[in-house]
Amino acid sequence: MASSSSAAVFLLVAILFSAAALPTHASLISVYGVQVRGLLVCSATGNLTPSCLNCRGIAGVNVTITCNGARTSIYNLVTDSNGFFNGLLTIADGLLFDTSAVPCTVSVRLPIASCTLLAGSGTLRAPVTFIGTIIGTVVGLVAQVTAGAFTLVPLVAA
């Protein structure tokens, strides 16, 4: 009888320790994919701005998505004929996703031959923002995010 009682106590302690190790912040979700959407336009910044509402999207540009400082996943997309990009980055090991601070960025290497308004060197980098949707798919839970405003990251001389 003592051994089954000891086993029950051990199981209860194990469950309590497991529960204590779970994230307590309500915005932390384990996801197995991130769907990224965005737009790259031919402007001085790569963004639509009030002074550039009629700027055209840039087609055929490679867009790189990285998460966790490129430690988790790297995914490449190509912009469509209107400059939009949309892709699903699957994460085999899962990613602890904080909906208030998405751990992914979007980047575009410069120059882009079809847009002389952009800088001739460097990288355009944009944070991604959670758009409030977690969807269930065949890969598991997927967070939907959108690319924010691009900023220029200049090349650093060696």
Closest by CA position to 63, among listed 74, 47, 52: 74
Looking at residue 103, its pLDDT comes to 72
The residues near 27 (Cβ < 8 Å, ≥ 6 apart) are: 98, 99, 100
Summarised one tens digit per residue, pLDDT across range 15-44 is 333 333 333 344 777 788 888 999 999 999
Mean pLDDT of 55-70: 86
Q: What are phi and psi of 51, to 5 degrees?
A: -85, -5
Summarised one tens digit per residue, pLDDT across range 90-138 is 776 666 667 777 778 899 999 999 999 999 999 999 998 888 777 787 7
The half-sphere exposure of 23 on its side-chain side, counting CA atoms within 13 A, is 10
More confident call, 16 vs 4: 4
What domains can you pick out in the chain, each with its CATH number?
Answer: 26-153 (2.60.130)
What whole-number distance in Å separates Cα of residue 61 and Cα of residue 89?
Answer: 18
Q: What is the mean pLDDT of the chain?
A: 77
The residues near 64 (Cβ < 8 Å, ≥ 6 apart) are: 74, 75, 76, 77, 106, 107, 108, 109
What whole-number distance in Å separates Cα of residue 86 and Cα of residue 147?
Answer: 10
